[in-house]
Amino acid sequence: MALQSLDIKARSATTTPSPSVRGATTEVAKLIDISKCIGCKACQVACMEWNDLRDEIGHNVGVYDNPVDLTAQSWTVMRFSEVEVTPGRLEWLIRKDGCMHCADPGCLRACPSPGAIVQYANGIVDFHEENCIGCGYCITGCPFNIPRLSKKDGKAYKCTLCSDRVAVGLEPACVKTCPTGAIVFGAKEDMIHHAEERIADLKSRGFQNAGLYDPPGVGGTHVMYVLQHADRPELYHGLPKDPGISPLVSLWKGITKPLASLGLGLAVLAGFFHYVTAGPNEVEEDKEHTS
Amino acid sequence: MSAPLVPRYSPRDRANHWVIAISFILLAVSGLALFHPAFFFLSNLLGGGTWTRILHPFIGVVLMLSFAAFALRLAPDNRITAADREWKKHLPKILRNEPVTLPKIGKYNIGQKYLFWSLVVLIPLLFITGIVIWQPWFAPYFSVGLIRLAVLLHAAAAFLAILAIIIHIYSAIWTKGSIRAMTRGTVTAAWAKHHHPAWYEEVSRSR
């Protein structure tokens, strides 16, 4: 059990309260200003360094994305999109992809293993791999396609928002290293305020649809983006416009769980009480002898 | 003086039935462990959460294969007849152990037949949806949308199958003299005459 210095707001597959005596905790957030990102990938390197991750060296597939996808060893990846929002005017949108740390995390809701996924009071959603059983339900629950199962140990991994650093008052490694200040970290409230200033600036520079990406469908996120084209988030390598936990997942891990469990329990009880009231269905003794 | 006995299941049928039964119990227990936190302690049966995740699908393959063989053997005796429908009308009285004149039932009554056909639908459905969500071997080949549908269907089918098996086990306990059909292979003639008269006549004729 890591990081007991942080209060826990929610814990996977747990029906009793989690440790939460510490009182008011500030919700944190990482703000990624895409308009300031130059795609240097220093954040990817810092992430590898701090978390001791070394992904396999892959192959160039003709785009700048390297590695081409998130893996159990690559918890953040720069996604490069070349778009023409205004015809004839090429824009290179570079989005740092990784866990969004949803306020309503689909992974945590889907996880069947107690304590394999926790949500700290500060908003960070963290995987505790020692409790992970490798079922992949977190992947099924995630609206952003983030968690990855490791081929090495069969456990799921993703960005921790450097919960180990944040717990001792440091910013995440990617924030620390970003050379342009495109990634900032602090109280979520402050980050929203900072984003508003950035959006006002972008609007004054002609980006009329600039805005903050903090999708309400998942209760807001603890990783937010400043987008030049907030009206079309899908331009940014398919960032979902209105993400939410799939209704199939909600049904499966929502009402179905208690109702089905109750149903099975009642069936067993019905049998028991039928037996002790109506009695067994026996063939009479004398019938056995006359046959 | 011991009662005369009628053979009901061959050693092969019994072995097949119990391979299915053991697989089903292990699957139900390990599946429930991953379904609701209240049942997570059941994951200890297979050696913890990770072993539960690893073993559950392999046991599922054993169930599918053994059930397929069993179902093919039993299918001809499970066709629903007019006598079965007539028998069904008297079910409330039967359940209350009240005296009632019943039509002559063959090897299986309609409750047993419903169980049979439910499992014929549910077990392949569990198998197919189980393949779709089987980590790490097959799930990566399917889209997340399909996996989401599969997990829901898998849970729903499992609920119905477990419910059906609870009814099956209770019926065997409730109807005295039934369990020995699957443990010893025989039933008493009185049991056969009372519960499955048409089948008893058929067996008597052929002997």
Element (H, E) at A33: strand A28-33
> Is the pLDDT at A287 greater than 60, yes or no?
no
Average pLDDT (A33-51) is: 97
Which residue, chain included where needed, has tokens 């990817």? A44
Q: How confident is the model at residue A85 (pLDDT cuts 50, 70, 90)?
A: very high
> For B95-121, what is each residue's pLDDT tens digit?
999 988 899 999 999 999 999 999 999
- The Cα–Cα gap between A117 and A109 comes to 9
> Is the pLDDT at A2 greater than 80, yes or no?
no
Element (H, E) at A277: helix A256-278
Closest in B40, B148, B194 to A248, CB measured: B148
Average pLDDT (B41-58) is: 97
> Is the pLDDT at A5 greater than 90, yes or no?
no
CB contact under 8 A, A112 and B33: yes
pLDDT at A286: 52
- The Cα–Cα gap between A252 and A259 comes to 11
List CB contacts (< 8 A) between B167 and chain A: 267, 271
Contacts of B15 (CB under 8 A, 6+ apart): none
> For A110-164, what is each residue's pLDDT tens digit?
999 999 999 999 999 999 999 999 999 999 999 999 999 999 999 999 999 999 9
pLDDT at A18: 86
> Is the pLDDT at A21 greater than 90, yes or no?
no
Which tokens belong to B156? 């729903």
A261 touches chain B (CB under 8 A): yes
pLDDT at A284: 72
pLDDT at A3: 57
Interface size between A and B, measured as CB pairs under 8 A:
142
pLDDT at B185: 96
A264 touches chain B (CB under 8 A): yes
The secondary structure of B145-168 as a DSSP string is HHHHHHHHHHHHHHHHHHHHHHHH
Average pLDDT (A250-254) is: 92
Among B17, B56, B154, B168, the one annotated catalytic? B168
> For B136-156, what is each residue's pLDDT tens digit?
999 999 999 999 999 999 999
pLDDT at A249: 95
Question: What share of chain B has pLDDT > 70, as a percent?
Answer: 99
> For B166-175, what is each residue's pLDDT tens digit?
999 999 999 9
Minimum Cα–Cα distance from B52: chain A residue: A133
B188 touches chain A (CB under 8 A): yes
> Is the pLDDT at A288 greater than 70, yes or no?
no
Question: What share of chain A has pLDDT > 70, as a percent?
Answer: 96
> Is the pLDDT at A285 greater than 60, yes or no?
no
* Residue-averaged pLDDT of chain B: 95
pLDDT at B158: 97
- The Cα–Cα gap between B16 and B72 comes to 12
> Is the pLDDT at B189 greater than 50, yes or no?
yes
Question: What share of chain A has pLDDT > 90, as a percent?
Answer: 86
Phi, psi dihedrals of residue B182, rounded to the nearest 5°:
-95, -15
* Alpha helix stretches (DSSP H) within B11-143: 11-35, 49-74, 82-89, 91-95, 110-132
Q: Tell me whether residue B195 is one of the annotated catalytic residues.
A: no
Q: Quote the minimal CA–CA distance from A143 to chain B in Å.
A: 10
Are residues B198 and B104 in contact, defined by beta-carbon separation less than 8 angstroms? yes
A13 touches chain B (CB under 8 A): yes
pLDDT at A135: 97
Q: What is the largest CA-CA distance in chain B?
A: 66
Mutate to test the interface with A, among B51, B144, B173 (most CBs of A within 10 A): B144
Average pLDDT (A216-234) is: 97
> Is the pLDDT at B38 greater than 50, yes or no?
yes
> Is the pLDDT at B35 greater than 70, yes or no?
yes
Distance of CA B126 to the CA centre of its chain: 14
